Amino acid sequence: MHEPFWITNLLNHAFAGPVDGLLNLVGVHPDNPARPINDTFALEVLVAFCLIVFFAIVRMSLSVESPGALQQAAEMIHEFTGDQGEQIIGHGAERFQAFVTCVFVFILANNLLGLIPGVVTPTSAPVVPLGVACCTFLYYNFYGLKEQGIGGYIKHHAGPIWWLWILLFPIEVVSNLARVMSLTIRLYANMFASDMVTLVFFSMVPVVIPAVFLGLHAFVSLIQAYVFMLLAMIYMSIAVSHEH
Amino acid sequence: MLPAPDTQIGRKREGVSTVNLNHPLAANHREAGETMKKLQYLFMTLAVLCFAAPAFAQAGTAGPVNLVPIGAGVGMAIAAGLCGLGQGRATASACEALARNPGARAGIQLLLVLGLAFIESLTLFTLVIVFAKVKI
């Protein structure tokens, strides 16, 4: 059991009481009431806080004539997700761009945290990708319902031929629920497997070989963050598409 | 003037075999004895290695064989192999499509990455089951 991170100690010191109260409200009793927050959650909170600070700084120092480095980085990210959104969702992709950018940047930052030796990858605990997948699920269903109305959304799931709804409706419902599972497990298993592979090779040849697998971890992190964002956009485009 | 035939570079002589007569398995009396001796030594060494096989036998019966790790290994191997086949086909199609139409690079790249991620996730489901069922 490694010694806890300073961020975990800080958060537990500051917020142990309220977090305990909140958890007890929902019926969860932590093992150690003085430390209800564990490492992965503390790291997630740190990443989210740093991202909020980054966005706030960029927003406050926006300038057309002399963009700073942070603004150029933010513009790169914005252009990237905007391009992808236009390619996949077509027109009207701007309203979803904020959410998918957050998903992309959050997952990317969490994945890359695992490259630092000694720091656990937050996304290698199953609950973290589950959280992001649940948020994505709620988001695209909300927009699907809003765009097509409740009746329209259900009809959308019944498929193009109306009298096949008995067959198609269960398939669509199960497939929608399976999206949550597949998003979660894809991200979790990729990160967990990269960590595991690095550890295995570290235990065999501690000198140069693990660096190769850390490189693999970095590459896989990028790809998995991109794929998560891509899938979120595809589900969004399916949910709000009007196929008349 | 044409050069004389004997001074042409690289011309093969007619009627000469191109088989290398120094091949170790050729029925060449000069080398056959030495090759046979080397083969004899090799086979004797391999036979001696087989004498050690009883060392792998269990000392007495230790109960039924635990099949869970074996099943996990075989299952994971099948999943990874089939994933390799699927991703190979996807990549091959993408390369061919890109070669035919280099202007469609953005769309092809998008679909390729998406397809590869979907195929890989099926193998990762198997990995998760392995980790859930095998008590490491």
pLDDT at A239 exceeding the cut of 80: yes
pLDDT in tens, B114-127: 999 999 999 999 99
Q: Which of A87, A192, A227 is opposite residue B117, by nearest beta carbon?
A: A227
Distance between CA A71 and CA B83 in Å, rounded?
A: 41
Q: Do residue A193 and residue B127 have CB atoms under 8 angstroms apart?
A: yes
Domain locations in chain B?
Answer: 25-54, 68-133
Q: How confident is the model at residue A22 (pLDDT cuts 50, 70, 90)?
A: confident
Query: B126 vs chain A: nearest CA distance in angstroms?
Result: 10
Exposure b/e, A79-118, CB count within 10 A at least 16 = b: eebeebbeebbeeebeebbebbbbbbbbbbbbbbbbeeee
Domain ranges of chain A: 38-239
Rounded to an integer, the average pLDDT of A39-45 is 89
pLDDT of residue A244: 40
Which of A84, A88, A185 has its CB closest to that of B121? Answer: A185
Residue B59 has pLDDT above 70, yes or no: no
Q: Closest approach of chain B CAs to the CA of A186, in angstroms? A: 5
Residues of B with CB under 8 A from a CB of A: 106-107, 110, 113-114, 117, 120-121, 124-125, 127-128, 131
Q: SS3 for A183?
A: helix
pLDDT band at B96 (very low <50, low <70, confident <90, very high): very high
Is there a contact between A193 and B114 if contact means CB atoms under 8 Å apart?
no
Which of A145, A147, A106 is CA-nearest to residue A128?
A106
Query: For the segment A92-104, what is each residue's pLDDT rounded down to a tens digit?
Result: 888 899 999 999 9
How many interface pairs between A and B have CB atoms less than 8 angstroms apart?
39
- Is pLDDT larger for residue A123 or for residue B61? A123
pLDDT at B2 over 70: no
Q: What is the pLDDT of residue B25?
A: 66
pLDDT tops 80 at residue B18: no
pLDDT, one tens digit per residue, over A214-229 is 999 999 999 999 999 9
Would you identify the CATH topology of the domain B68-133? F1FO ATP Synthase (1.20.20)
Please give, rounded to a whole number of angstroms, the shortest distance from the CA of A87 to a CA of chain B: 8
Is A190 in the B-facing interface, judged by CB distances under 8 Å?
yes
Q: What is the mean pLDDT of residues A37-51?
A: 90
Comparison of pLDDT for A51 and A162, the residue scoring more: A51
Using the predicted structure, report yes or no on whether residue A185 has a pLDDT greater than 80. Answer: yes
Which member of A87, A226, A234 has the closest CB to residue B106? A87
- Given an 8 Å threshold on Cβ–Cβ distance, is A185 in contact with B124? yes
Residues A76-128 pLDDT 10s: 999 999 999 998 888 888 889 999 999 999 999 999 998 988 888 999 999 99
State the smallest CA–CA distance between residue A185 and chain B in angstroms: 7
Residue B129 neighbours by CB under 8 Å, 6+ apart: B75
Q: Within 13 Å and on the Cβ side, how many CA atoms surround B37?
A: 4
Residues in B touching A193 (Cβ below 8 Å): 124, 127
* Mean of all residue pLDDT scores within chain B: 80
ipTM exceeds 0.90:
no
Please provide the average confidence, as pLDDT, over all residues in chain A: 88
For residue A188, give the nearest of A135, A123, A103 by alpha carbon. A123
For B117, nearest residue in chain A (alpha carbons): A227
Asked if the Cβ–Cβ distance from A227 to B124 is below 8 Å, we say no
- Whole-angstrom Cα distance, residue A17 to residue A128? 23
A188 interface with B at CB cutoff 8 Å: yes
Q: For residues B48 and B88, which has the higher predicted lDDT (pLDDT)?
A: B88
Secondary element (H or E) of residue B37: helix B29-50
| pLDDT for position A224 | 94
pLDDT for B9: 60
The shortest CB-CB distance from B124 to any of A87, A186, A223 is to: A186
Q: Say which of B107, B114, B128 has its CB closest to residue A185.
A: B128
How much is the pLDDT for B21?
Answer: 62
What band does B4 get if pLDDT is binned at 50, 70 and 90?
low
Chain B residues whose CB is inside 8 A of the A226 CB are 113
What pLDDT is attached to residue B46? 82
* Longest CA span, chain B: 91
- The verdict on a CB contact (< 8 Å) between A226 and B120 is no
